[in-house]
Amino acid sequence: MDISKALHSLDRTAVRSDCLFGRYLIVETAVKAKELLVEELPFVYGPKCNGPVVCLECYKPFKFANDAKCQLCPICNWPLCKDCSNTGANYHRRWECSVFCEAKVKFYHLKCNENECPQLDCITTLRVLLAKESQPERWEREIAPMEYHNEERRKLDDVWNADFVNIAQYLRGPCRLADRFSEDLIMQVVGILEVNAFEARTTQGYALRCLYPITGILAHNCVPNTFRTIHPSEGYRIRLRAMCDLAEGQQLQHSYTYTLNGTVQRQEHLKTGKFFTCQCKRCKDPTELGTNFSTFKCSKCEDGWLLPSDPLDSSCKWKCTLCTFSTSNNAIQKALSVMQSEVATIQAMEPSPQKLQETEKLMRKYLVVVHPRHFIQTGLRQSLIEMYGRVAEYELAELPDVMLDHKEDLCRQVLRVLEVFEPGLSRTRAMMLYELHVPLVLLAKSGFIAGVLSTDVLKQKLLDVIDILKECVDILQYEDPETQEGNLCKVAQQAMEQLIQSVEGLTGSE
């Protein structure tokens, strides 16, 4: 594909390079929030590593039927679901299908281990290598300069050796590609994908990864200033927008890690997966920009908080803000590990009244251990928000006002954190705004029926909810309409229109 057909809106951005960030993007002119900055198609896309058996066209995980041939490509006999086989499986057949046919390499479906299929680890790497052959100029200009950190990756012996055997040796041996691709080149591509690829979802929600030449070189920041959407119905086209207003020459940044993790957890992810230490303002601030997102309660005084003396130093002391007590980072991380284990046990439960009740107990238990806005507490709130109104005994029609008030409070507390870490255009914020509008509407109607609220007060409360839904729609309007987020946008739009009609009815009855 010609790069001019793959990229648009790049007149607003420029590539820069330095020893700290490597290659990165800046905006050449000031832009407003929500404006489009970059739009591009992936160089290639394909299944993630260390995943289950999936269809090589639609990425749907599946278990083999008694007749395995029903779920194999009729040409190469590699995984392909019936639907994709019937519709042509164009992407699979464009890339690896002919390689497997020519080499007569077989796919071995081990029914006892379908949740982990190392034989499929080679697929996306092979697609990049084949794209390199068909588009050598694009490879040299856009992909070859990408970071791949092979020296650092070699130190991760188990991971490196697994990739070397399952990908490099497999492609050069059974797949008979030794004359076309060297071991060094294959491991370079493995590294490029590990460091630069983005996770995406199909319209059905199945996971895959995409390699974007331009968006992939964005710098990292734990408080990003860009918002990206991937559109599976458009060939996984990515669109990058300004999350907030950006000044001329400002660096474009997105987060390589989950913004609602604490500093230690984010740093660990970045070091093991991206091979750098983040030096952003948030990471260097013990309070994480005033949120106390990783702060512990002091065990020696009533109102003190334990903060790390240097958040980027794993050997630092954690000191109380009021008394003289201090403890080691190791002790804090051990306590945190116990908490995370307890949380994981409950999160593994199927949604149920018991899971909701146990989550509430755990959140109350941790109130005397960590700051109320600690990331552990924030994660528990998110889980509770999902369950209130959706599990038996706690369905919306059954929730008393006190529980609706509780759900509202849970939503607002998460939103206060998001206002700091994901300011402006934020998908997570949109989802939380949608969750917030439900208890607000029910509480307003309940108060009106009980005679506590006047018509004017009810009208104002509904207008406030309309504003909340409008912001939700304004964010989600950029999502692919065929995805879960795109569908939520339609639902939020419908809810907003219904409330507008309700307000108009109240106005007409005055």
**What DSSP string describes 168-184?**
IIHHHTTT--TTT--HH
Q: What is the pLDDT of residue 6?
A: 43
Beta strands in 181-224 (DSSP E): 198-201, 207-211, 219-220
> Cα–Cα distance between 254 and 265 in angstroms, integer?
17
Amino acid at 495: A
Strand-pairing partners, residue 17, are 23
pLDDT digits (tens, 9 = 90+) for 104-134: 999 987 655 567 889 999 999 999 999 999 9
Q: What is the mean pLDDT of residues 354-371?
A: 97
Helix (H) or strand (E) holding 438: helix 427-449
End-to-end, the C-alpha distance of the chain in Å comes to: 62
**What DSSP string describes 86-97?**
HHT-HHHHHTHH
Q: What is the pLDDT of residue 168?
A: 97
> Cα–Cα distance between 192 and 143 in angstroms, integer?
8
Looking at residue 134, what DSSP letter applies?
A: H
Q: What is the mean pLDDT of residues 407-427?
A: 96
pLDDT digits (tens, 9 = 90+) for 126-185: 999 999 999 999 999 999 999 999 999 998 888 999 999 999 999 999 999 999 999 999
* pLDDT surpasses 90 at 30: yes
Residues 6+ apart with CB under 8 A from 98: 76
Specify the pTM: 0.91
* pLDDT surpasses 90 at 20: no
Q: Can you say how many angstroms the Cα of residue 127 is from the centroid of all Cα atoms in its chain?
A: 24
Q: What is the mean pLDDT of residues 434-453?
A: 96
pLDDT digits (tens, 9 = 90+) for 51-68: 999 999 999 998 765 544
Amino acid at 403: M
Cβ atoms within 10 A of the Cβ of 360, count?
Answer: 15
Q: Are 502 and 489 in contact (CB under 8 A)?
A: no
Amino acid at 506: L
